[in-house]
A and B are shown apart, each in its own frame.
Chain A
Amino acid sequence: MKTIISGNEAIALSFEDSGGVFASGYPGTPSTETLEEVARLGKVYCEWAPNEKVGLESAIGASLAGGRSLATMKHVGVNVAADALMTLTYTGVNAGLILMAADDPGMHSSQNEQDSRNYAKFAKIPMLDPADSQEAYDFVRTGFEISEQFDTPVMLRTTTRISHAKGIVEPTGKIQPKVGEWVKNVPKYVMLPNFGKIKHVEVEARLLKLQEFAETSPLNRLEMGDTDLGIVTSGISYQHVKEAFPTASILKLGLVHPLPEKKIREFAGKVKRLMVVEEMDAIFEEQIRAMGIGVHIGKDKISFCGEVNADIIRAAAGAPITTGTAAPVENLPQRPPTFCPGCAHRGLYSILSKLKVFVSGDIGCYTLGALPPLSAMHTCICMGASISAAHGMAKVNEIAGRTEKPVAVIGDSTFFHSGITGLLSMAYNGGNALVIIMDNRTTGMTGGQENPGSGQVLQGEPAQQVNMVDLVKVLGIHNVVEINSYNLEETEAAIRKGLETPGPYVLVDKNPCILRYRVKKPLYKVAQDKCTGCRACLKASCVALGLTASGEKPKVGIDPNICNGCGVCAQLCKFDAMSEV
């Protein structure tokens, strides 16, 4: 039966239909819904790993034990899993293994634009690049077949507009999962140098075989039309090409590594102008040029940055673009994402903002504390970097004779992901920093996924809940204090104490995520006779608050449909104008 589902849902459905046995991964936009959907469908075992490396390693183990396995992650997650990947390419697999990497060109919800196609080249493994939900479904099945036929991990690469776009999918029938033998094979699976040397030769030979496969595989499709313009493309770019030039000749690549050299040469020979359309890096173009084939239109006309669309392609080829009714209206108030009304991060950041400390931030909802009016985050690099970076800062401050202590802010899921090792280093090497762990018991930014602190696993069963304070202590931190960031006065005192006490100091806020756990509290209202319009409350950046009228000094009101009753605004008010409804 036909259904309309996203690329992520299609991958999950196909994983189940293609005899999948084990899936793991770490949440990350735009990959997250894949594992959530495997769990929702409910037939195949799946779990959240604390990070992508653990997710991939677990999938490797599952493959070695004979089960078809899937590891899912966003593009930057592949960096974390890369250590495993770069040797997995040598060992190969037992049962089929697919690594799904979801790229985010245009950075809708990411810290960088990273083209995962580089990893396929780097690891010398095949990569599939679906162009819609149906292909996302089909390519999982094909991916397992390639993985097992060529004894290799397969990367399945999506982009945001594949993962999150919905299209019609017709499933192609179910394969019953079967678990193969659990084999001991030391030269294949133990990468000591002597075995690794043999395997590297095999990897190079495998790549040549895959290249032959790419030449004849229907994954790479010639669509001959007008021969004036011939376009080599893949993935979502293919759809934009079809919009821009419906009658052009197209070489649509489904297997994007290794490339089918003969097929590309044949295609280039049939068209007058060869164009390469690819988002982000010039992966195809560089290789095609290295084959000695001329590319007439490519990255000279299409940016390395951001997403591609039909007009960008038209413009690159010198064709007219869409003309609309109007230019975008300029200077409108922006509507950036912000902390939810009632979120525990708001109170913390209003204090950090007031204290003007240097905040070493991390990846999560709390990264939004960098935006005005809070503006209380001064660096954010990658998952887990808050603590390690604060440690480095503390050491240089010590060397420079500065007394100011940096503050690291990190969430529970990010701490489990890769903050633990940073804190271990800080404890071991004696870094003079304050670390605040916002332990809201969920992976918030990606929509509230379970983690080792949630007390529940992905498939819903109860699980052992990590005790954050005990975990911090066991790493060697002696000063660990629990705080309640809804109480501004107490929290400020705790932060001040942490800043004054020499050595590593950790504060743990255990307030749950209000969005995930739907915490209900009494709402607040503003006594208009007491409000002076001083706007001190507005510094907390809550969308439930607003000015009630225009004019010289408008007063503040609270929208009862939006307020979640955290009471932070009431504590910021110097005139006692806010109270519970």
Chain B
Amino acid sequence: MKVFNIVIAGVGGQGVLMASKVLAESALASGMDVKQNEVHGMAQRGGSVISFVRIGDQVHSPVVMPGSADILISFEPLEALRYVHYLKPGAMLVYNKGTINPSTVASGLATYPSDVEEQISGICGDAHGIEALSLAQEAGNAKAVNMVMVGSVLKNLPIDAQVVEGVVKALSKDKGVEVNLKALRGGAAAA
């Protein structure tokens, strides 16, 4: 299988890394080669986060080059716009419609663009916004936005949904199992 490139973007604290871990473990459980990479450190402090998951028969670099992502999953609209150029021509973007102000906006130094979603659609013809926060809340925890987002792209990934569910179960603790599975399925149904 040719390498399938997934880019996950969001804001530090949103669970981008956990979502990446779920996809990477699922690829491993499916017998594929996989590399996953994000840059953390400073990102923990509310900064922009970008993570790569590359799946295939043999994966060399852990880095996805701009213009080569098969799918972009963004947990926040502005971050979707920031990384939309990572997509291949014609590739798909799913983003959470809930916005989070960057510190530059919160402190009045910059304005959050009012037309982010229009700009996204203008660049990517296959962009889909979902209400991930309310779906996560329906599942039982606002923090499950990351599982909603993973769910929302399940049918577009070269991984079996059952395998992903199994990995989510294995990685979740106690009550989290039910919440995360519900969020995953909620995301899948919304897409």
Contact = CB atoms under 8 A, between A and B. Distances in A.
Interface of A: 2-4, 29-30, 108-109, 132, 160-161, 164-168, 236, 239-240, 242-243, 309-311, 322-329, 332-340, 365, 368, 372-373, 445-447, 515, 535, 538-547, 550, 559, 561-562
Given A333-B110, A368-B45, 17 more contacts: A108-B39, A166-B24, A167-B36, A168-B33, A168-B34, A240-B63, A242-B60, A324-B86, A325-B85, A326-B123, A329-B81, A329-B84, A333-B111, A335-B46, A372-B109, A535-B108, A543-B106
A326 B78 contact: no
Interface string B3-23: 000000001100000000000
A333 B67 contact: no
26 contacts: A4-B36, A109-B42, A132-B35, A164-B40, A167-B34, A167-B59, A168-B34, A236-B61, A236-B62, A239-B62, A243-B61, A309-B65, A322-B67, A324-B67, A325-B90, A333-B111, A334-B48, A334-B110, A335-B78, A335-B82, A335-B104, A373-B108, A543-B100, A543-B102, A543-B106, A546-B105
Contact of B85 (A236, A327, A561): A327
A365 B46 CA distance: 12
B121 interface: no
Contacts of A539: 107
Contacts of A311: 65
A264 to B, nearest CB: 22
Contacts of B60: 239-240, 242-243
B142 interface: yes
Contacts of B61: 236, 239-240, 242-243, 309-310
A334 B62 contact: no
B87 interface: yes
Contact of A338 (B62, B87, B103): B103
A167 B25 CA distance: 10
Interface of B: 11-12, 24-25, 28, 33-48, 59-63, 65-68, 78-79, 81-82, 84-91, 100-114, 119, 123-124, 142
Given A165-B62, A242-B60, A309-B63, A335 B11 contact: yes
Contacts of A310: 61, 63, 65
Nearest to B69: A324
Contacts of B102: 333-336, 543
B106 A550 contact: no
A30 B41 CA distance: 8
B95 to A, nearest CB: 14
B132 to A, nearest CB: 13
A488 to B, nearest CB: 17
A109 B60 CA distance: 24
B47 A335 contact: yes
B5 to A, nearest CB: 11
A325 B87 contact: yes
Most buried by B among A161, A164, A167, A325: A325
A443 B148 CA distance: 33
Given A333-B111, A334-B110, A335-B11, A543 B67 contact: no
Contacts of A515: 44
Contacts of A546: 101, 105-106
A337 B88 contact: no
Nearest to B33: A168
Nearest to A332: B82
Nearest to B11: A335
Q: Which 6 A-B pairs have the closest CB atoms?
A: A324-B67, A109-B41, A337-B45, A165-B62, A337-B47, A333-B110
B62 A161 contact: yes
Contacts of B36: 4, 165-167
Nearest to B89: A325
A332 B113 contact: yes
B89 A324 contact: yes
A337 B43 contact: yes
B42 A108 contact: yes
Most buried by A among B39, B62, B91, B114: B62
A540 B65 CA distance: 36
Contact of B107 (A132, A373, A561): A373
